[in-house]
Chain A
Amino acid sequence: MRQFILLKFISLRHLVREKRTWLTLIGVALGISVFVSIRIANQSVLNAYHQSVDAFTGKSTVEIVGRSGALDENILKTLRNEAAITTIAPIVQTVLPMSTPTTSQGEMLLFMGVDLFQERDFRNFNVVGEDDKPLDMSGAFEVLLNPDSALLTEQFASRYGLKVGDNFSVRMEGKPLEFKVAALLTGDIAQTRDGNIAIIDIASAQWRFQKLGQLDRIDLITDEEISVESIISRIEKSLGGDVLVRRPQQRNRQIEKMLFAFQMNLTALSAISLFVGLFLIYNTLLVSVAHRRKEIGLLRALGVDRAQIFGLFTIEGMVIGTVGGFFGVVIGSVLARWVVQVLSKTVTSLYVAIPPTPFSLPLSLFMEGLAIGVLVSTFSSLYPAWQAAQLRPREALEGIFGSEVSRINHQKLLCLSLGSGLLSFIFSQMPMAWGFSWNGYVASGLLLMAFSLIVPTTILLFSKAVRLLSSQSSPSWRLAQGHLEQAIRRNGPTISAFMGALAMMISVVIMIESFRTTVVLWIDQTIQSDILGFPASYMVSDSDETLPRDMLDQIEKMDEVKAVDGYRSRMILFRDESVELVGRDLAIHAEHSKYLFRTGKSVEVIHKAIAQREVLISEVLANRFQIKEGDTVQVPTPQGNVPFEIGGVFYDYGTEGGKLVIDRAQLIQYWDDSHIDVIAIYLGENEDPTSVRSKLLVKWGSSSGLAFTTQGPFKDEIMAIFDQTFLITYALEWIAIVVALLGIANTLFVSILERKREIGILRSIGGSQAQVVRVILVEAFYMGVIGNIIGLICAFFLSLLLIYVINKASFGWTLQFHFPPMIILHSFLLAIGTALLAGYLPARKAAQTDLKEAIAYE
């Protein structure tokens, strides 16, 4: 009860009356909002993904896919003898770009060729025929009997004004493939892939997509009473090693692993704002304790005990946290609407197609946001509250002016910092787990702590240095320096928070810049062809569209053309995981372009690979499967496993999961695959790529859906995709900076409350308002400069962690460290600009201090 009275009469009044409380609140709310919005967005995207996957996977318990490519449909006969299999659903699928209606061009359509009679046990198809009349499975079966009949999703159809009975076409090998909308699909499955799905009969699919005798996947429902594992091993035994039998969940495991890592990385980034918010509460309360020393003394004198004082401040912190958390969730959910969109776009371009994600704010996330607010605030109020409880009543009552002058143990802080730095190093050397570089983040946290710990000492040193330099200069500089040094305890956490936010921002910029520089370098060295030809759909998604078969020969015959490299990429299951296999004309690639091999010269390694039928693998793949040059790997082909020696490991930043490269001749020999996805054209000397490109365009025409790009635009396109990927990262960092900005403003506000008297003195001896403003701004400037100096150094180390630990573990890419020198200038401009911005309002307020009150005291 007494605690309640204390709260009611004291805490609440302080909280409501003091402007800085509001500032803190806004900061905390923003910090939490960023975290919450990322959580919401992550959750929404994940839900949407799972929903579409679940709708797609349906009730199947086991699925079968080919290791080297498509399955032979005859294995069904074997499967039908397995008593434990209840239902079998064969699937033929392909992804092709839309051709007509022309408005739909650019969209990719996933065709699923199914046997509807088998599908009903697996997936819920809601089919609506003409005049919105619902069709049952047999009805749908009937309308799909024609080979050009397809079910489109209601969503997709309405997007392009297609109705039942209308025609549409997709492109295959440069030619349109006509279909008719037989009926519309609604319900869960229709939401998958943004509705870009067409269902056709399996017979039509095999025929029209030239997949006779082939199945891409077989879904099974198995006897519930027999363990799935034992069924899988039984099926494996009867089908042999050319197929992979797995739970459907395993299909997505790889994607989910990457998605998880990606989302964890985002969450970790968003935690920065939370971290800055934590500093903010800590700082506010610490200052509050100092500021209310007398009040604490009085309360103690009136019989309030230590525990109650401790409680008082903890609860004040919690109130800020709870209210901040509430607004954080509200702001976060607004923010999330935007984040969800960007995120699903990024995830779609990086990993897997995500349907447009319906925004939802589940109560659990709402509560989570609040809980985070309360937890963070409680945690950060513990130390200030403890400090308040430690005050002796008499001392507190006396409230000696200037007693705040530092009694900081610098040796101890530096030792702690060193220890923290060492620990950080140790963690950075540890292996990652769960596909997520937890150790990298722990190391980053420790590194930030190490640098936070040197902030007080740096303030002191900085202040001494400034004093030496500024003894003859304007009084503002000297006064600000004096204040800074005097209030290390208060300024320390603020500068730390600011430093932390800056360091993370800068390190992320360094990481992205390094990434970018590496990619640019890689593109410049490896993409040497003058013109690239590919289906327009190739750049945007997982299209199965290939180039017309005769294109290679025709282009080769052109006078302007010196050489042509046909490039074919397909997915295989390498060691049970989905991996890209590339077949290309290695001799031409060696002669005209190169791979950046880890060891060895490109020409030599490639020629040896051709001669000895070796496979070349990308670095990511080497890291992923722990394989290296000279190893022999079994590559699944339609003719069984074929051993290939690894001739070289090259750097590649083009694919997420890495790739295997073999000579086109091998691809034709083992896979009988003479398709081409991309054609790299090398022109003779003095030929103009632009005019040859125009010639090619005229030759194949715009309706072919073929894109020809010259080197420059192609590189630009790659970089545009690259930049899109890091959009969220930048946004997150900016918000962290805003939170830090509020922290500085808050500290300066407090600083003014504390220094009213000094300001009064200054004014009484002839200081003008402008001079007071200047003093405060100079102090803010100092804080910005200190924050940025430490921040830059910290960022340097942090970026090393990001590049060599976190990024390497998460994606497997080796990036070349690149420190953009301009970042120093930019960060100083940013830091100082931020600091001055944050200092301006408090400075204005300081200048208008009531003078008589300021000096009347004591």
Chain B
Amino acid sequence: MNKSVLTLLVMTLWVFAWNEPAKAASDAFTKAMPGYTFSFPRDHGSHPDYLIEWWYFTGNLSSEKGKSFGYELTFFRRGIENKFKDQNPSLWSVHDVYLAHFAVTDIAEKQFYYDEKISRAALGKAGAKIGKMDVWIDRWSAAQEGDQIRLKAGDDQWGIEFILNPAKPLVVHGEQGISKKGEERGAASHYYSFTRLETSGTLITNGKAEQVSGLSWMDHEFGSLLLGEGQVGWDWFSIQLDDGSEYMFYQIRETAGGKDPISSGTIIFPDGTTQDLKANDFKLTPTSYWKSKLSDATYPLHWEISVPSESLTLTAKPVLNQQELITTRSTRMTYWEGATDFHGQKKGKKLKGKGYIELTGYAGKLLGAVKPK
């Protein structure tokens, strides 16, 4: 189990409203089953046979003048079960709904900006191509250009246009092409990541454009089976250390409290080899909390992380407390997704890194917990 499952959980919860019988919904779509063979560039593109799919980018960047920034850009595709969609010849007929989240953290200015979109395909307003990565809503897009990926999002006040170059090969998570999330058949997703993408381009903050460069992380994941109840949220970490390694951890929190046994992680070594981590292989300990004035949610933003097998201890400290997204329009969830600095020791040697932490399920229920201002 990994982050993909957790994200599926979220998707499940926001998708709920669209498909009353959640189980029935998944029947119309292909399930993620073991034995899947990834093939690229095909699998960079859209998989409309699957219910849910997303392309997820985060990164830590700095300008030529040394200012630091974080960003997040996520595109979701959500298949719609609509028995009339093939009968109705209208080009407005809904087959998929596309959603996007875009956030920028201006660390020096202590500013956090985010925006979101939701749309049907609507004659090219939004879409995701099959066979190659090309997903967009309006003028926001993530598209493959040769080996590179071009990201565009935002507007003339807050916006990005980046070129992403993989410094390491992509990593397929899980076994037999699936990332399992439960015992049920098909309760899984197909999931791969680019954990180290060299990034450069233009970033607009408050209407001012700057050239920036740094590292990004990308996830692409697709699956169909929805999760059951019992989980309230998760904590997810992506860490790019300056020794050339990356770490990914997550833990699912249950209503009853405590760490879910399916929590896990992955180590990507500098040479590109990987190692799965089980729940007992690492320890995540929150050390201090921050309360959002907007949602009243209390998030653990400072963490102690330890991976005994690597003799690794890390302290996570967000670059800014306020990196909370209240996405009333699209996914309708309130969560914290923020650029984070990591400091610590590995085998007695000091090291640091950057990354992103995603904290969900703290604003009451996952959904609809946003209190009016």
Are B82 and A146 touching (Cβ within 8 A)?
yes
Chain A residue contacts of B332, Cβ below 8 A = 136, 138
What chain A residues lie within 8 Å of B119 (beta carbons)? 117-118
Q: Are A146 and B84 in contact (CB under 8 A)?
A: yes
Selected from B18, B88, B97, B120, the residue in CB contact (under 8 A) with A207 is B88
Chain B residues lying within 8 Å of A115, measured Cβ to Cβ, are 92, 120, 122
Residues 68-119 (chain A) with a chain B CB within 8 angstroms? 73-74, 76-77, 80, 90, 115, 117-118
> Does A147 lie within 8 Å of B84, measured CB to CB?
yes
For B86-97 the 0/1 string (1 means CB < 8 A from A) is 001111111001
A145–B94 CB distance below 8 A: yes
Indicate if the CB atoms of B90 and A207 lie closer than 8 Å. Answer: yes
Q: Which residues of B contact A627 (CB under 8 A)?
A: none
Chain A, Cβ-Cβ closest to B18? A142
- Is residue B17 within 8 Å, beta carbon to beta carbon, of the partner chain? yes
Contact A207 B89 (CB under 8 A): yes
- The chain B residue with its CB closest to the CB of A206 is B90
**Bound: A335/B230 CA distance, A:** 64
Query: Of A77, A136, A138, which one neighbours B123 at CB under 8 angstroms?
Result: A77
User: In the complex the two chains form, is A74's CB within 8 Å of B84's CB?
Assistant: no
Q: Contact at B91–A213, with CB atoms within 8 Å?
A: yes
Number of interface residues of B (CB under 8 A): 26
Name the one of A90, A139, A147 contacting B88, with C-beta atoms under 8 angstroms. A147
Minimum CB distance partner of A211 in chain B: B90
Given contacts A80-B138, A117-B118, contact A212 B90 (CB under 8 A): yes
> Once the chains bind, are B123 and A76 in contact (CB under 8 Å)?
yes
Chain B residues whose CB sits within 8 angstroms of the CB of A74 once the complex forms = 123
Q: Is B350 an interface residue (CB 8 A)?
A: no
Q: Is A120 an interface position by the 8 A CB rule?
A: yes
**Is there a chain A Cβ closer than 8 Å to B185's Cβ?**
no
Q: Which of A135, A138, A139, A147 contacts B118 (CB 8 A)?
A: A138
Nearest chain B CB to A726 CB, angstrom units: 46
Inter-subunit contact B88/A117 (CB<8 Å): no
A202 within 8 A of B: yes
Residues from 783 to 805 in A contacting B, C-beta threshold 8 Å: none
> CA separation between A120 and B119, bound complex, in Å?
12
Q: How distant is A737 from chain B, measured CB to nearest CB, in Å?
A: 58
> Once the chains are docked, how many angstroms separate the CA of A169 from the CA of B156?
47
A201 at the interface (CB under 8 A from B): yes
When distances are taken between beta carbons in the complex, the residues of chain B under 8 Å from A118 are 119
Query: Would you call A203 an interface residue if the criterion is a C-beta within 8 Å of the partner chain's C-beta atoms?
Result: yes
Chain A residues with CB under 8 A of B330: 138
Tell me how many residues of A have a C-beta within 8 Å of chain B. Answer: 28
Cα–Cα, bound, A275→B97 (Å) = 65
> In the complex, which of the residues A74, A77, A138, A213 has the most CB atoms of chain B within 10 Å of its own CB atom?
A138
Distance between Cα atoms of A146 and B123 in the complex (Å): 19
Please, which residues of chain B bring their CB within 8 A of the CB of A139?
Answer: 17
Docked complex: B290-333 residues within 8 A CB-CB of A: 328-330, 332
Pick the contact of A117: B17, B80, B120, B123 (CB < 8 A): B120
Contact, CB under 8 Å: B80 / A145: yes
B259 contacts the other chain (CB 8 A) = no
Q: What's the Cα separation between A118 and B125 when bound, in Å?
A: 11
Residues of A138-152 contacting chain B, CB below 8 A? 138-139, 141-142, 145-147
Q: Note all chain A residues with C-beta closer than 8 A to B91.
A: 73, 203, 213
CB of B124 closer than 8 Å to a CB of A: yes
**Residue from A80, A202, A203 with most neighbouring chain B CB atoms (10 Å):** A203
Q: Give the complex CA separation of A207 and B87 in angstroms.
A: 10
Tell me if A138 and B125 are in contact (CB < 8 A): no
A858→B100 CA distance, assembly (Å): 100
Residues of A within 8 A of B138 (CB): 80
A204 within 8 A of partner (CB) = yes
Closest to A92 in B: B92
Given A117-B118, A145-B82, verify A203-B88 contact (CB < 8 Å). yes
Chain B contacts of A76 at CB under 8 A?
122-123, 125
List, in ascending order, chain A residues with CB within 8 A of B90's CB.
202-204, 206-207, 212
Report the Cα distance A60→B96, complex, angstroms: 27
Compute how far the CA of A147 lies from the CA of B92 in the bound complex, rounded to whole angstroms.
11
Query: In the assembled complex, which residues on chain B have CB atoms less than 8 Å from the CB atom of A142?
Result: 17-19
What mask results when residues 328 to 344 of chain B are scored 1 for a CB within 8 Å of chain A, else 0?
Answer: 11101000000000000
Distance between Cα atoms of A120 and B125 in the complex (Å): 16
Chain A residues positioned under 8 Å from B18 (CB to CB): 138, 141-142
Q: Does A342 contact B (CB under 8 A)?
A: no
A350 within 8 A of B: no
Q: How far is the CB of A50 from chain B (nearest CB, A)?
A: 28
- A137 touches B (CB below 8 Å): yes
Q: Beta-carbon contacts of B80-121 to A below 8 Å, as 1s and 0s?
A: 101010001111111001000000000000000000001110
* A137 & B17 in contact (Cβ 8 Å cutoff): no
Provide the residues of chain B in CB contact with A146, threshold 8 Å.
82, 84
Residues of B within 8 A of A120 (CB): 329
Query: Residue among B84, B92, B97 with the most chain A CB within 10 A?
Result: B92
Question: When the two chains form their complex, are residues B123 and A73 in contact, meaning their CB atoms are under 8 A apart?
Answer: yes
Separation in Å of the A126 CB from the closest CB of chain B?
15
In the assembled complex, the Cα of A745 lies from the Cα of B204 at a distance in Å of: 82
From residue A595, how far is it (CB to closest CB) to chain B in Å? Answer: 41
A236 and B19 alpha carbons, distance in the complex (Å): 42
- Residue among B89, B90, B97, B328 having the largest count of chain A Cβ atoms under 10 Å: B90
Q: What's the Cα separation between A117 and B126 when bound, in Å?
A: 12
A202 to B, closest residue via Cβ: B92
Give Cα distance in the complex from A76 to B138, angstroms. 12
Contact digits for B43-56, partner A, Cβ 8 Å, 1 yes 0 no: 00000000000000
Residues of A within 8 A of B17 (CB): 135-136, 138-139, 142
Q: CB distance B124 to A77 under 8 Å?
A: yes
Query: In the complex, what residues of B have CB within 8 A of residue A206's CB?
Result: 90, 92
A142 to B14, CA, bound (A): 12
Q: In the complex, what residues of B have CB within 8 A of residue A212's CB?
A: 89-90
Interface string of B116-141 (1 = CB under 8 A from A): 00111011110000000000001000
Given the complex, which residues of B lie within 8 Å of A138, measured CB to CB? Answer: 17-18, 118, 330, 332
- The residue of chain B having its C-beta at the shortest distance from the C-beta of A137 within the complex is B329
In whole angstroms, how far apart are the Cα atoms of A399 and B170 in the complex? 117
Would you give the shortest CB distance from B191 to chain A, in whole angstroms? 26
Q: Are A203 and B125 in contact (CB under 8 A)?
A: no
B 25-52 binary contact with A (CB < 8 Å = 1; else 0): 0000000000000000000000000000
User: Which residue of the partner chain B has the closest CB to A120?
Assistant: B329
Residues of B within 8 A of A204 (CB): 88, 90
Enumerate chain A residues within 8 angstroms of B92, measured Cβ to Cβ. Answer: 73, 90, 115, 201-203, 206
Asked whether, in the complex, the Cβ of A203 is within 8 Å of the Cβ of B94, the reply is yes
Give the distance to chain A from B80, nearest Cβ to Cβ, in Å: 7
Q: If the complex has contacts A117-B118, A142-B17, are A80 and B88 also in contact, measured as CB distance less than 8 A? A: no
B290 to chain A, nearest CB (A): 28
Q: Report B232 CB to chain A, min CB distance, Å.
A: 21
User: Please, how many angstroms separate the alpha-carbon atoms of A207 and B89 in the complex?
Assistant: 7
By a CB distance below 8 angstroms, the chain B residues around A147 are 84, 88
Q: How far is the CB of B309 from chain A (nearest CB, A)?
A: 44
A73 to B124, CA, bound (A): 12
Q: How far is the CB of B82 from chain A (nearest CB, A)?
A: 5
In whole angstroms, how far apart are the Cα atoms of A206 and B87 in the complex?
13
Residues in B with CB closer than 8 Å to A207 are 88-90, 93
Q: CA–CA, A463 to B94, complex, Å? A: 87
3 closest residue pairs by CB, A with B:
A203-B92, A206-B90, A203-B90
Q: List 7 A-B contacts (CB under 8 A).
A: A80-B124, A90-B92, A139-B17, A147-B88, A206-B90, A207-B90, A213-B91
Beyond the given pairs A120-B329, A142-B17, 17 more chain A to chain B contacts, judged by CB atoms under 8 angstroms and listed by A's residue number, are A73-B92, A74-B123, A77-B123, A77-B124, A80-B124, A80-B125, A80-B138, A118-B119, A135-B17, A136-B17, A136-B328, A138-B18, A139-B17, A141-B18, A145-B80, A203-B93, A206-B90
